[in-house]
Amino acid sequence: MFDPVDSSATMPEVVPNGGSNSGTSDPWLLIETSGRTGQVGLARGGEVILSRLLDPSRRHARDLTPAVVELLQQAGIAPSACAGVMVSLGPGSFTALRVGVMSAKTFAYATGCALRAVPTFAAVAEQSPPACMHLWVVADALRGQAYAQLFRRSAHGWEAQTELLLLPWEQWRSQVAVEAFVSGPGAQQAAERWPELALTPPETHHPTLQGLYAAGSRMPDLSRSELFALEPLYIRPSYAEEQRRPASSP
């Protein structure tokens, strides 16, 4: 399993800051590994100020830590000066999500900064245009199924109206109201099957660092016990885990 603190590019030594600083005016480290191409970034005062793409061929593992180190050095920010780290929870690639979450936990533990866990679909919702009031975020779960979640825009921002669902595409389509827009990594796939669906612009379908930051800015810091217990949103077992199941298992 990937060690978030890789021996080829170890995190600079830091001194715990004695607690979290949840103010979004201070720099936040952003880790987004749910998509095909992972990203890390720094944000402050409502904007992403620096970002870096991760090598997709390496599945975000061995190059994540060096990318974070380079980003902090470029900004002239010590790890201990970060208010916290926001990490995308998924759904997404099993391996990449695990790498991202473990790296975020390691960074937060080492520096004593805050950790905020952001469901990927909540980040995607934040990227939707103002005219969108009801939104389904979808992604392909393979085997004829979809990950799906319904959001509604309120005076307080986007609010989830359902849990994250795993269901057949046809069953999801039967729940989509006429007034609802569709976004997410699976939006184009859905539109190919049902052209009548109203999609948000293509550039809003995949999670971005700005969407992660916007969603994370409205979320609470995790407690120490929550930090240690944090796991990605898998919903279904990984392929390797399913292969290890007895043939009689459902």
Calculated CA dihedral for residues 209, 86, 80, 225, nearest 10 degrees: -170
The domain defined by 28-120+207-238 folds into: Nucleotidyltransferase; domain 5 (3.30.420)
Reply yes or no: is the peptide bond before residue 202 cis, omega within 30 of 0. Answer: no
Place of tokens 């944000």: 43
Q: pLDDT: is 120 or 21 the higher one? A: 120
Mean pLDDT confidence for 27-54:
94
Given a cut of 90, is residue 139 above it in pLDDT?
yes
pLDDT of 25 reads 64
Given a cut of 60, is residue 20 above it in pLDDT?
no
pLDDT of 242 reads 52
| pLDDT classification of 207: cutoffs 50, 70, 90 | very high
pLDDT of 105 reads 96
Coil, helix or strand for 181?
strand
**CA separation (Å) from 205 to 21, 125, 153, 190?**
31, 9, 17, 12
The token pair that represents 233 in the structure block = 């949103």
Given a cut of 70, is residue 247 above it in pLDDT?
no
- b/e 100-138 (16+ beta carbons within 10 angstroms → b): bbbbbbbbbebbbbbbbbbbbbbbbbbbbeeebebbbbb
pLDDT of 24 reads 56
Q: pLDDT: is 41 or 61 the higher one? A: 41
pLDDT of 35 reads 84
- The yes-or-no answer to whether 28-120+207-238 and 128-204 have a common fold is yes
Cα separation, 167 vs 243, in Å, equals: 21
> What pTM did the predictor assign?
0.85
Share of the chain above pLDDT 70, in %: 82
Show me where the domains of the chain are located. 28-120+207-238, 128-204
May I ask the CATH class of domain 128-204?
alpha beta
**CA separation (Å) from 222 to 113, 118, 136, 197?**
10, 11, 27, 37
| pLDDT classification of 246: cutoffs 50, 70, 90 | low
pLDDT of 158 reads 97
Quick one: which of 203, 198, 157 has its CA closest to 176?
A: 198
pLDDT of 58 reads 61
| pLDDT classification of 11: cutoffs 50, 70, 90 | very low
Mean pLDDT confidence for 18-22:
38
Q: pLDDT: is 24 or 92 the higher one? A: 92
